[in-house]
Amino acid sequence: AQSVSQHNHHVILSEAASLELGCNYSYGGTVNLFWYVQYPGQHLQLLLKYFSGDPLVKGIKGFEAEFIKSKFSFNLRKPSVQWSDTAEYFCAVAGGYSTLTFGKGTMLLVSP
Amino acid sequence: NAGVMQNPRHLVRRRGQEARLRCSPMKGHSHVYWYRQLPEEGLKFMVYLQKENIIDESGMPKERFSAEFPKEGPSILRIQQVVRGDSAAYFCASSPGTGGSYEQYFGPGTRLTVT
């Protein structure tokens, strides 16, 4: 069975700081990986996804993630965060029938 | 194109009552997924349905929970005889196909509170 582990439950940063959120997964099959974001009061939105090819994936709003197969990792990065990036971030892996297995989420608070 | 719709957004039920959660997928999407988010937890897969078929219900509790996606109308997640532990946010997602390359689009969720 697949599993996803997110290292930090809460992260607090100042605006313009760099961000890296860790995600490790366990899955025996072909890997499809996702990062979703949930802004306060809103529904989950897809930030970026990896299916194959270039392991460095660019997403919306300046986010990117790197798939490192040898480390079973898919860490999310952003060079300079903004106050509007305050949200909860979920890493997920797609298994059979595309069902998603999510990590517990990381709550990011960006102070102005 | 309207997104995934869920209603109600908030639902309060007393212990022992029934809860019915509705999900209308995006236009053109015939695959529906239900997830549950408990406090301090990530989303957990419950059930995957296509029109008139349950494809994977491995995440559904064995008792009191059922789901359907009829030929016409929204998908329904039904919880009978609710208990306090059912209090959670229930999210529905839809996709146009199956397979890891298809993105799932999420609805706003239904927050169920059992008193």
Mention every residue, 6+ apart, whose C-beta is less than 8 A from residue B40. A104
Q: What is the pLDDT of residues A65-80, one digit of tens each?
A: 999 999 999 999 999 9
Please report the residues numbered 1 through 40 in chain B whose beta carbons come closer than 8 angstroms to any beta carbon of chain A. 3-4, 31, 33, 35, 40
Q: What is the pLDDT of residues A32-59, one digit of tens each?
A: 899 999 998 888 999 999 988 899 999 9
* DSSP assignment string, B21-35: EEEEPPTT--EEEEE
Report the alpha-carbon distance of residue A84 to residue A62 in Å, rounded: 12
Residues of A within 8 A of B40 (CB-CB) are 104
Q: Confidence band (pLDDT; 50, 70, 90) for A108?
A: very high
Give the H or E element holding residue A90: strand A87-94
Per-residue pLDDT at B74 exceeds 90:
yes
Test mutation, B4, B23, B32, B43, chain A, max A CBs within 10 A: B43
- Residue A96, classed as helix, strand or coil, is helix
- Given A6, A98, A104, which is nearest B102 (Cβ)? A98
Report the alpha-carbon distance of residue A58 to residue A62 in Å, rounded: 7
Report the pLDDT value the prediction gives residue B1, as an integer from 0 to 100. Answer: 53
Test mutation, B57, B104, B105, B111, chain A, max A CBs within 10 A: B104
Average pLDDT of chain B? 93
Q: Confidence band (pLDDT; 50, 70, 90) for B102?
A: confident
Q: Is A30 on the interface with B (CB under 8 A)?
A: yes
Report the pLDDT value the prediction gives residue A30, as an integer from 0 to 100. Answer: 77
Cβ contacts of A55-61, under 8 Å, gap ≥ 24: A59/A35, A61/A85
Residues of A within 8 A of B110 (CB-CB) are none
Instruction: Output B54 or A51, whichever has higher pLDDT.
Output: B54
